[in-house]
A and B are shown apart, each in its own frame.
Chain A
Amino acid sequence: MPDVDVFDALANPVRREILKKLRRGPKGVSDLASGFSLGRPAVSEHLQVLRRARLIREEPRGRERYYHLDPRPLKEVTTWLDAFERYAQDRLDDLGELLDREAGERR
């Protein structure tokens, strides 16, 4: 089991930004750190949180480590949001039925 909850990992905007960058392919720390005003050690710390949540994995290449996105834990989050969406769809169905009933009663 991952020792960092995927929600905790995603709760931070820097970590979400890192994941977005990694969607375009594996990157090294210096490359990842370039877009942030944070120092490289801070970025490394965020990377460790993402790694412990199993959202990324490390690959040593020469002197630098490269990071790959592993989107599998995100499935938990998307199904979570899907559930709210299904709920909303059901409410819109119910609203339609109510509107039809009310219109029928007014006729």
Chain B
Amino acid sequence: MTETPKIQLDRVYAHPPAAIWRALTTPELHAKWWAPGDVRAELGHRFELDMGAWGKQRCEVTAVEPERLFQYKYAIGVLDTLISWKLAPEGNGTRLTLIHEGFNLDTPMGKKAFEGMRPGWPGVMGAIERVLNG
């Protein structure tokens, strides 16, 4: 097994793909729902997202298909994951799929996050499948 754990989330928004695309790729809008940074829909573009307490995280765009796919390496050297945003029209809105993958169990940010949340979290035994299967 070589896969690492990943997170995949789906959400349907009552807005057209173009509106979501703007929110994902325009710094001014991006800062309003996630983090400030010079994000841009351009293959190979390197940018930083200011994650506050987590510091500025370096990113690099790895795929751009306007209003369909925006993908970038996230937190290079710290968490080293890959984030993909997939957009597909659905009814009068858009299905947005977020895939955050490549979680390495042994990166500095991973360890730090783990240490910070060790106490108090309820354990879910069913989620073991997810960790082992990636």
Contact = CB atoms under 8 A, between A and B. Distances in A.
Interface residues of B, number: 38
A98 B23 CA distance: 8
Interface string B20-40: 100100000100111000000
Contacts of B13: 95-96, 99
B9 A13 contact: no
Contacts of A64: none
B124 A71 contact: no
Q: Is the interface of B mostly helix, strand, loop or mixed?
A: mixed
Say which size band chain A's interface belongs to.
35 or more
A74 B114 contact: no
Contact of A84 (B34, B96, B113): B113
Given A99-B19, A102-B29, A103-B19, A7 B111 contact: yes
Contact of B121 (A74, A79, A89): A79
A37 to B, nearest CB: 15
A99 B83 CA distance: 20
A99 B15 contact: yes
Contacts of B32: 94, 98
B53 interface: no
Interface string B45-69: 0000000000000000000000000
Pick the 9 closest A-B CB pairs, nearest first: A75-B123, A78-B127, A79-B121, A98-B33, A94-B33, A80-B114, A7-B105, A95-B33, A99-B15
